[in-house]
Structure 1
Amino acid sequence: MERTNADAAPGADAAPVADAGAGARVAAPVGFGYSALDEEKRRAVRRMKTLATGLLLAVAVVYVLAKWAASSGAGGWTGFVAAAAEAGMVGALADWFAVTALFKRPMGLPIPHTAIIPTKKDQLGQSLGDFVGENFLSGEVVRLRLRSVGISRRLGGWLAEAKNADRVTAELSTALRGALTVLRDSDVQAVVGEAITRRADAQEIAPGIGALLEKVVSEGGHKRVVDLVCGRAHDWLVEHGDSVMAAVSGGAPGWTPRFVDRRVGDRVYKELLRFVTEMRDMPEHPARGAVDRFLKDFAGDMQSDPGTRAKVERLKSEVLGRGEVQDLIASAWGAVRAMIVAAAEDERSELRLRVRASLLSLGQRMSVDDRLQGKVDGWLEGAAVYVVTTYQGEITSLITDTIAGWDAEHTSKKIEAHIGRDLQFIRINGTVVGALAGLCIYTVSHALGG
């Protein structure tokens, strides 16, 4: 006897409670209960069982009546009817036994190879898992199936439509914003700072800087910097002439006359101003050539002189070790993050427009370019084959472990609820076919005997 709470909660999984032993109540496994649909199917199974059993009883009654009629001298036709009814009973009983043996032991008898589903549940689950693994999760099957689908061509045609490209762009933007929101700034800043510092410490920068400086000097790229320095120096001297002369006069010995100190200071200032002015206005000034030679020599030393390279490395370590530099590196992430989030949220941002244009271009190419389609399909097939071959055991274990965790009795009842109605047709067909076979055999035997 079974009772369920399906009526109390229509449409929801209900855990049936079955009487076991002396009134003990056994609940179905969690997540494996009976829904209202299951109960409807079980009622349909019971109706079909009643029909099949009724047909068995009907042919049994016919057999009894035919035998009674034969004993009463009703005629030769009774033999035909009795033979058909007898064979129909045999067929019905044989199929009843076969169908019943799937789910339980017929009449409770411990007959070998009965109650197959309850007793062989785990083996059936393992066989089902092996079947799925061999026939659905093999590398060749997956590769052939994906190749027949033509994913790249379909995907290209889908992406080539503007509305789909807009949708993908919006989804990517949402995912990007979500990822940036989840990440903690302190963690990212620490990682970025540590990565930059470690990379800078691990790689010597002097040769690279020297090579860059050498190229800049050879191409004359430094001349604008020299022009800027000379111009600013000239302007500063013009503006602070009194300060320069006071500094020169203040450094003179105390025993010299003051007017001499002023004359010397004025002379030094004028010469200094003349020198800076000439250096500013004369591209071929000897001082400029000296600067060029100094920079070339310094670039060469940074590439080949061990002492200079060691000094540059020490300076690099000192600069990277300063707190201001570490704060600058850390703050760079905040600026980049804010820029990316703002671009992702703005539908007209350059980032989203470029992504959308790239998706449309990719879709158009994939829909017509056979070579690109072959590459994409090959990547997809390789990835899918790798997944199914590498994790085939884990995938099939989902089937075997799930079935192994089911309660044997409830598994049998649930399966019977879903396929039992069709199985009852086997009993009905067995009755009808058996009766026809018995009638044919009796007729042939009667004809040959006669």
Structure 2
Amino acid sequence: MPRTPMSLLSPADQARLRGLRLMKAVALGALLVMAVIFVVAFALEDRYPWLGYVRAAAEGGMVGALADWFAVTALFRHPLGIPIPHTAIIPRRKDEIGRTLGEFVETNFLDSAVVREKLLSTRIAEKAGEWLRVSEHAESVAAEAATMATGVLRALSDDEVQDLISDLAREHLLDPEWGPTVGGWLDRVVTADAHRDAVDLGVDSIATWLHGNREAFSGLVSRRLPSWVPSVAMRLVDDTVYHEAITFIEAVQKDADHPARRAVDAYLRRLADNLQHDPATIGRLEEAKSAVFDSPRVRELATDAWNTAKSGLLRSLDDPESGLRRRLTEALIEIGSRLHADPALQRRVDDRITDAAVFLVGRYRHDIASIITDTVEKWDPAETTEKIELMVGRDLQYIRLNGTVVGALAGLAIYAIAHAVL
């Protein structure tokens, strides 16, 4: 009988224990009934010869009940505490049972063919799609994903992440020379005339500024003239300069092949070539880069980037109505709808899942099965016996009942045959 107090057992185990005790009482009661019948029949057999049949049946029932009691008890402990050989099988051979069970699971359940057949017949993708396309389910998955992501973000060390961002920025962004890369990019832009729109935007911006800032030319040139020059002449000079600037910029706007545009193109080509091949130009760019991104500033940028990204993500993850959560839910619904409606996609997903599972099972099935072996080895023998007896002990008591009935019938049959023949 399990020795663990009822209060320490789970509700399911408590129910099993009550059922086990009830069946043990029933089996014991059947044995006692047979014993009483045997005593009565044995005492009155001389007076009533027909009680010989009853005595034989009761005798056979007692023998069967005792034999099966011994067999059932021998599985879990020594009968009557006597260390009879080949008894207390489960506690004595616990580790071997665990290894055998692990080998059985590994051979029969973790076989690649079995896993592949089961997964393909399950139609995982179709069922997952059917479930996921329901908005409530998609929202639940999104909420769980947000909870997990929030937990991960809060668990991360800010200093370590900032150090990582700083190291990555320095290794992949700051340490490499920018000149050749920027020069190559600029050369491709100029060759493809992709810079034209930028030049047009610059020219238009200058023209807009000139038209709106006439007063900026007042005194621009005239203040440099001698004082004896008449004021009318000074204003005429300023107006001439302003109008020439307007005329020039309008000409640049209208003429796609204006000399100023060609000069800009030539300058950009020279700059692209110098950035790629001129050590002096490359050095000046590296100096400028170092001045902008010195070590303390890189650390500050990494800190600001991480803090901003983290706080923004946490707010979005915590808010069910945030754009991130809504887009995640919509994406899950769309995935579910496609999985539900597209048989070809279902087959591809099922094949990928099956291949991955078969690979993992084939590679790690011994390790998976060893969980059973290692767990059983760690169990205390008495505790193992209690666990197994609670699980199957109630059903084993039926063996005792069956032994009582079969023994009684066998005893009656033997006695009847012997009486008839002899």
Q: Which moved more, 1:362-371 or 1:300-309?
A: 300-309
User: Take 1:239 and 1:360, find their aligned partners in 2: how far apart are those partners?
Assistant: 60
1:403 aligns with 2:403: no
> How many residues were matched structurally?
413
Instruction: Give the aligned residue type for 1:61.
Output: V
How far does residue 149 in structure 1 lie from its aligned partner after superposition?
Answer: 2.0
How far does residue 359 in structure 1 lie from its aligned partner after superposition?
Answer: 1.9
Instruction: Give the aligned residue type for 2:28.
Output: T
Q: TM-score, normalised by structure 1?
A: 0.75
Superposed CA deviations along residues 32-56 of structure 1, whole A, max 9, x for unmatched, are: 9996546534532441342143145
Contact in 1 for aligned 2:112/2:358 (Cα 8 Å): yes
Superposed CA deviations along residues 344-392 of structure 1, whole A, max 9, x for unmatched, are: 4554544333323322221111112111111222232234334444444
Superposed CA deviations along residues 69-122 of structure 1, whole A, max 9, x for unmatched, are: 2xx6x55x4654454444334333322221221122234433221111221122
1:148 aligns with 2:121: yes
Alignment correspondent of 2:18 = 40
Instruction: Give the aligned residue type for 2:198.
Output: H
1:336 aligns with 2:309: yes
Q: 1:341 to 1:83 in 2, by over 3 A?
A: closer
Contact in 2 for aligned 1:41/1:418 (Cα 8 Å): no
User: Take 2:183 and 2:259, find their aligned partners in 1: how far apart are those partners?
Assistant: 23
How far does residue 435 in structure 1 lie from its aligned partner after superposition?
Answer: 2.7
Q: 1:96 to 1:349 in 2, by over 3 A?
A: closer
Superposed CA deviations along residues 156-189 of structure 1, whole A, max 9, x for unmatched, are: 1112222222333333344444444444544433
Alignment correspondent of 2:197 = 221
Alignment of 1:372-391 (within 5 A): 372-391=345-364
Instruction: Give the aligned residue type for 1:225.
Output: G
Superposed CA deviations along residues 318-348 of structure 1, whole A, max 9, x for unmatched, are: 4332644653454233333444444445545
3-state SS in 1 of match to 2:398: helix
1:13 aligns with 2:8: yes
Q: Which moved more, 1:53-62 or 1:226-235?
A: 226-235
1:423 aligns with 2:396: yes
1:282 aligns with 2:251: yes
Instruction: Give the aligned residue type for 1:239.
Output: A
Instruction: Give the aligned residue type for 2:128.
Output: L
User: Take 1:276 and 1:323, find their aligned partners in 2: how far apart are those partners?
Assistant: 45
Q: TM-score, normalised by structure 2?
A: 0.79
How far does residue 233 in structure 1 lie from its aligned partner after superposition?
Answer: 8.1
Q: 1:57 to 1:446 in 2, by over 3 A?
A: closer
Q: 1:167 to 1:88 in 2, by over 3 A?
A: closer
Alignment of 1:230-245 (within 5 A): 239=216, 242=219
User: Take 1:109 and 1:178, find their aligned partners in 2: how far apart are those partners?
Assistant: 57
User: Take 2:63 and 2:369, find their aligned partners in 1: how far apart are those partners?
Assistant: 42
User: Take 1:114 and 1:390, find their aligned partners in 2: how far apart are those partners?
Assistant: 39
Alignment of 1:120-159 (within 5 A): 120-159=93-132
Q: 1:442 to 1:166 in 2, by over 3 A?
A: same
Q: Which structure has more helix as a fraction of its residues? A: 2
Q: 1:446 to 1:35 in 2, by over 3 A?
A: closer
Contact in 2 for aligned 1:231/1:280 (Cα 8 Å): no
Alignment correspondent of 1:296 = 269
Q: Which moved more, 1:104-113 or 1:320-329?
A: 320-329
Contact in 2 for aligned 1:174/1:344 (Cα 8 Å): yes
Contact in 2 for aligned 1:244/1:269 (Cα 8 Å): yes
Alignment of 1:17-416 (within 5 A): 36-37=14-15, 39-41=17-19, 43-58=21-36, 60-61=38-39, 64-65=42-43, 68-69=45-46, 75=49, 77=50, 80-201=53-174, 203-217=176-190, 218-219=193-194, 220-223=196-199, 224-228=201-205, 239=216, 242=219, 276-283=245-252, 284=255, 285-305=258-278, 308-321=281-294, 323-324=296-297, 326-416=299-389
Q: Which moved more, 1:231-240 or 1:173-182?
A: 231-240
Ranges in structure 2 where 5+ consecutive residues have no aligned partner = none
Q: 1:62 to 1:436 in 2, by over 3 A?
A: farther
How far does residue 124 in structure 1 lie from its aligned partner after superposition?
Answer: 1.6
Q: 1:303 to 1:398 in 2, by over 3 A?
A: same
Superposed CA deviations along residues 191-217 of structure 1, whole A, max 9, x for unmatched, are: 223212211145443333224323444
Q: 1:413 to 1:345 in 2, by over 3 A?
A: closer
Ranges in structure 1 where 5+ consecutive residues have no aligned partner = 7-11, 15-31, 250-256
User: Take 1:306 and 1:351, find their aligned partners in 2: how far apart are those partners?
Assistant: 47
3-state SS in 2 of match to 1:189: helix
Q: 1:94 to 1:39 in 2, by over 3 A?
A: closer
